[in-house]
Amino acid sequence: LDNSLLPIVAIVGMYSLKRPKRFVEKIVKINSGRGLSAREKRASVILNDFKRDSERILKETRKLARDQLDTSILKSKRSKRMVADLREGIKENKSIAKIKKDMVSKYNNLSNVERTLDTELHSQGEFVRLKHSQALGYTHKVWNTQRDSKVRNTKFHTNVENKRVPIDSDFRQAGLKASQPGDVRLPPSDRIRCRCYLTFE
């Protein structure tokens, strides 16, 4: 294992990735540095050391993530304004809870707001993980589902499970292609609230 990945392995060991929204909320809180528990303070030290040691990679990855979110805003029809509001909230360093509260107040539709947040945060998380793993020299990626009864039964999802491809290639099935879970090129049936994740080799 590349030593530069050890801080990430430590954080993932402390906080589960199985609930992406909760994981993001935890990382946002840790980054804020306010009201941290002893465990969160330990995680904060790990993250700060990692950010210092990986500054160039993180800067490039943030730019790519912003570009990806811009593309999502352009492609999304139903949630276009919500995605734009999400981006604005992130830019203003609001917590996920605050962004959600503001969006629910604005749109008066909790389920649509939650669906948009779940989809976009997970997509962004997987995109950033992919770009960072590329920068660290990994050569292949594997598409993983949660392997439970909630996994959607679409031709794309069914056929990409456990598929291994070069890290800079797309997963291709059923006439669709995606670089990572939540890719904006996927149709809503394969993108909205996707819980899949990549592993790297």
What would the pLDDT profile of 141-163 be if each residue is shown by its tens digit?
Answer: 999 999 888 888 889 998 999 99
CA distance 124 to 183: 9
State the DSSP code for 168. Answer: T
The pLDDT value given to residue 74:
46
pTM of the model: 0.59
DSSP codes of every residue in 3-33:
GGGHHHHHHHHHS-SSSHHHHHHHHHHHHHT
How far, in Å, CA of 85 to CA of 71, rounded? 14
Compute CA 145 distance to the chain's CA centroid, rounded to the nearest angstrom: 14
Token output for 40: 């969160």
The structure tokens listed for 26 are 């935890």
Residue 157 host element (H or E): helix 155-160
Tokens of 89: 């909230």
Select from 15, 34, 17, 25 the least CA-distant residue to 114: 25
Mean pLDDT of 101-106: 89
pLDDT tens for each residue of 38-96: 888 888 888 777 777 667 666 666 666 656 555 554 455 556 778 788 888 888 888 88
Tens-place pLDDT, residues 173-199? 999 999 999 998 888 888 888 899 999
